[in-house]
Amino acid sequence: MAGSPTAHPRIGVLALQGDFREHIASLTELGADVVPLRRPEEIASLDGVVVPGGESSVMDKLSRAFGVAEPLAAAIRGGLPTYGTCAGMIMLSSRIAAGIPGQQTLDVLDTTVRRNAFGSQNDSFEIDIPMPELGEAPVHAVFIRAPVVEEHGPGVEVLGALPDGQVVAVQQGNVIASAFHPEVAGEDRFHRRFLDLVHSA
């Protein structure tokens, strides 16, 4: 672990844009020591990081402007446990379909993710998705201008898919990503799975 391996791991939530406050609240409730991440020098003290939902192109620009993108990508490649939701999934992905010109990613998850796969804000929806890896009860998933995983490499485990087969939750080693917002639905199993990664790192 980068920080001190205690019962209260130090988690950074990228807080440049998006719904970082909801993730901070969810993780704090689960007993983590959660801090907003805005500067590159803060990364070394973290035991894990969350990249929240928001606007992926804006988050990309800000993360580069603040100098966070490259050191964060390096830390994740080095094994820092990471969880990304919605725009965070796009940020972590290696490839973007329908990205805006010049949009970049952290390139730490072997996936091709399509932005706004389900349309605009008005096309947001909720659905219960069976995810045996996270327990018997289905996961209540809230999709808001959500992406979808169009392709993934052999090292990527599918955690959840819609009834039509579209992949919406994945894990590759130390990186978990979901196209939906558990932090909005009061669903804590993804955050628990992430913290299990942190504790075993």
CA 115 to chain CA centroid, nearest Å: 14
3-state SS of the chain: helix, strand, coil percent to 5? Answer: 30, 30, 40
- For residue 8, indicate whether it is catalytic: no
Render 24-75 in DSSP notation, one character per residue.
HHHHHHTT-EEEEE-SGGGGGG-SEEEE-SS-HHHHHHHHHHTT-HHHHHHH
At 121 the pLDDT is: 55
- For residue 183, indicate whether it is catalytic: yes
Structure tokens, 34: 């959660």
Lowest-pLDDT choice from 4-18, 32-46, 66-80, 140-154: 4-18
pLDDT class of 83 with cuts at 50, 70, 90 = very high
How distant, in Å, are the alpha carbons of 54, 86, 103, 131, 151 from that of 95? 18, 14, 10, 25, 9
Which of the following is catalytic: 23, 152, 181, 191?
181
| Predicted confidence (pLDDT) at residue 1 exceeds the cutoff of 50 | no
Query: pLDDT digit string (tens) for 41-80?
Result: 999 999 999 999 999 999 999 999 999 999 999 999 999 9
What is residue 17's three-state secondary structure? Answer: coil
| Predicted confidence (pLDDT) at residue 176 exceeds the cutoff of 90 | yes
Average of per-residue pLDDT across 151-163: 97
Cβ–Cβ under 8 Å, residues 105 and 82: no
Which of the following is catalytic: 23, 152, 183, 187?
183
At 5 the pLDDT is: 45
The dihedral of CA 18, 27, 131, 184: what is its sign?
negative
**Separation between Cα atoms, residue 30 and residue 75, nearest integer Å:** 24
**Separation between Cα atoms, residue 34 and residue 146, nearest integer Å:** 25
Which of the following is catalytic: 22, 23, 86, 191?
86
